[in-house]
């Protein structure tokens, strides 16, 4: 599959009943790569359940978002467990 990480994207997160933390909400990103990084690195895992990414006419669920992040073609630096990025 060829994926254009430079395309604009929108991230939609699921609503959670009784959630103590405010909803992340829907967000637009200049590039799909930025949206993917935000979804994987910054959105709490519980919020990713039911989340999806819209890139052009294509929709990607949370599993596919994680696969795009782990792909060798992913263009941005990934955060490591220490939060400092890859070495």
Residues 36-86: tens digit of each pLDDT:
999 999 887 767 788 899 999 999 999 999 999 999 999 999 987 655 555
Query: pTM score > 0.85 for this model?
Result: no
C-alpha 34/C-alpha 31 separation (Å) is 5
Give the tens place of pLDDT for each residue, 17-42. 555 555 557 899 999 999 999 999 98
pLDDT above 60 for 8: yes
10 Å CB burial of residue 36 (0-12, 13-18, 19+) is buried
Task: Note whether 11 and 35 are within 8 A (CB).
Answer: yes
């Amino acid at each position: 599959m060829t994926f254009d990480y430079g395309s604009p994207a929108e991230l939609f997160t699921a609503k959670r009943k009784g959630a103590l933390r405010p909803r992340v909400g829907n967000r637009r990103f200049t590039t799909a790569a930025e949206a993917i990084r935000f979804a994987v690195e910054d959105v709490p895992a519980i919020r990713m359940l039911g989340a999806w990414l819209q890139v052009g006419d294509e929709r990607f669920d949370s599993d596919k978002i994680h696969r795009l992040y782990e792909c060798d073609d992913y263009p941005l630096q990934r955060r490591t467990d220490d939060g400092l990025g890859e070495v």
